[in-house]
């Protein structure tokens, strides 16, 4: 049986707890995106479940166009299917693996000719008195150098945003060879939103362990114990968000 095998009716791998959630594709239900054109979404993570940010999958059809993120809200997008064009860079098409960070209140939109699927993270930007607000960032995962995580060449981290205090969020792509693990059970103040983009493995969330595969989404609240091992015959990757660089008091 593979992770894609049909489930017995009335069952799911999805689980929603106080300090974490695993959302599997069989439980998706679309929601409209207000202010967008030719677009729909699955809102995986939101303040409704206790998170301090939102993570959703946006699906744009031909002629699709994004709406505003709302006052003070910054947005990170990562293309997983098709391509989009940003309103500020009409000569550059962002295809699979490309990403953009759109600062709060910047009125930058994107549109799509044929179709596109995007992972979107949004949060209320928290200004810092000593730093200017961050600038827009546009990139391609293929051009971002990976760094062995805590010295392990089989667990490689690509960092998409500058690790600099102008930014109050980080978004990274983590790729593990089969058998590679997070080196420790992590417990930390930062919160995570995550989507498996490739492969499979076992995620520890709190005191539970879950088989996970590409397409699964995970929310980890602050201080949720977390650990991962990649399993199977090909590498496993996940794209994830965390809130950083702001005092908690
Ligand atoms: O950045 C992180 O905290 C990362 N190591 N966590 C995770 O992969 N669950
Ligand atoms: Mn972590």
Same domain, 122 and 75: yes
Does residue 125 sit in the same domain as residue 38? yes
In a domain, 203, yes or no: yes
Run of H or E residues at 230: strand 226-231
CA of 146 to the centre of ligand 1 (A): 15
Q: Do 65 and 101 share a domain, yes or no?
A: yes
Q: What is the pTM of this model?
A: 0.97
Task: Check whether residue 90 and residue 132 sit in a common domain.
Answer: yes
Domain boundary (141, 172, 207) is at: 141
Task: List the beta strands (DSSP E) in 29-184.
Answer: 31-32, 37-45, 54-65, 73-82, 84-86, 93-94, 98-102, 110-112, 116-124, 137-140, 147-149, 152-159, 169-176
Q: Do 135 and 176 share a structural domain?
A: no
* 81 belongs to a structural domain: yes
Domain of residue 63 covers 28-141
Residue 249: per-residue pLDDT: 80
The verdict on residue 18 lying in a domain is no
Which of 124, 141, 158 corresponds to the end of one domain?
141
* Residue 249 maps to a domain: no
pLDDT at residue 90 in the model = 87
What is the residue with the minimal CA distance to atom 2 of ligand 1? 242
pLDDT by position in tens, the chain (length 249): 445 667 899 999 999 999 999 999 999 999 999 999 999 999 999 999 999 999 999 999 999 999 999 999 999 999 999 999 999 998 899 999 999 999 999 989 999 999 999 999 999 999 999 999 999 999 999 999 999 999 999 999 999 999 999 999 999 999 999 999 999 999 999 999 999 999 999 999 999 999 999 999 999 999 999 999 999 999 999 999 999 999 888
Residue 79 forms part of a structural domain: yes
In a domain, 54, yes or no: yes
CA–centroid distance, 94 to ligand 2, in Å, is 28
198 within a domain of the structure (yes/no)? yes
Domain with 94 in it: what CATH number?
2.60.120.10
Same structural domain for residues 53 and 131?
yes
Q: What is the pLDDT of residue 1?
A: 44
User: Domain count of the chain?
Assistant: 2
Number of H helices, E strands in the chain: 0, 21
Q: Which of 94, 115, 141 is the last residue of a domain?
A: 141
Are 136 and 237 contained in the same domain? no
The Å distance, Cα 152 to ligand 1 centre, comes to 14
The answer to whether the CB of 45 falls within 8 A of the CB of 51 is yes
- Residue 177 included in any domain: yes
Q: What pLDDT, on a 0 to 100 scale, did the predictor assign at position 248?
A: 83
The single-letter DSSP state of residue 115 is: -
Query: Is the C-beta atom of 186 inside 6 A of ligand 1?
Result: yes
């Amino acid at each position: 049986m593979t992770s894609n095998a049909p489930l017995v009716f009335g069952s799911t791998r999805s689980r929603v707890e106080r300090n974490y959630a695993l959302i599997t594709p069989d439980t998706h239900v679309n929601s409209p995106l207000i202010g967008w054109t030719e677009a729909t979404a699955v809102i995986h993570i939101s303040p409704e479940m206790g998170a301090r940010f939102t993570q959703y999958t946006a699906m744009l059809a031909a002629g699709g166009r994004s709406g505003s993120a709302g006052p003070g809200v910054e947005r990170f997008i990562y293309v997983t299917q098709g391509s989009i064009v940003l309103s500020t860079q009409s000569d550059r098409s962002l295809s699979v693996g490309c990403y953009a960070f759109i600062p709060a209140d910047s009125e930058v939109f994107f549109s799509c000719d044929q179709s596109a699927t995007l992972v979107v993270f949004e949060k209320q930007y928290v200004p810092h008195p000593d730093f200017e607000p961050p600038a827009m960032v546009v990139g391609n995962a293929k051009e971002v150098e990976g760094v062995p995580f805590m010295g392990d060449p089989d667990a490689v981290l690509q960092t998409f945003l500058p690790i600099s205090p102008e930014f109050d969020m980080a978004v990274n792509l983590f790729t593990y060879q089969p058998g590679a693990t997070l080196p420790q059970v992590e417990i930390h103040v930062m919160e995570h939103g995550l989507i498996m983009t490739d492969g499979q493995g076992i995620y520890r969330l709190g005191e539970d362990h879950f088989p996970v595969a590409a397409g699964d989404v995970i929310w980890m609240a602050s201080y949720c114990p977390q650990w991962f091992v990649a399993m199977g015959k090909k590498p496993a990757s996940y794209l994830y968000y965390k809130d950083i660089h702001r005092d908690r008091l």
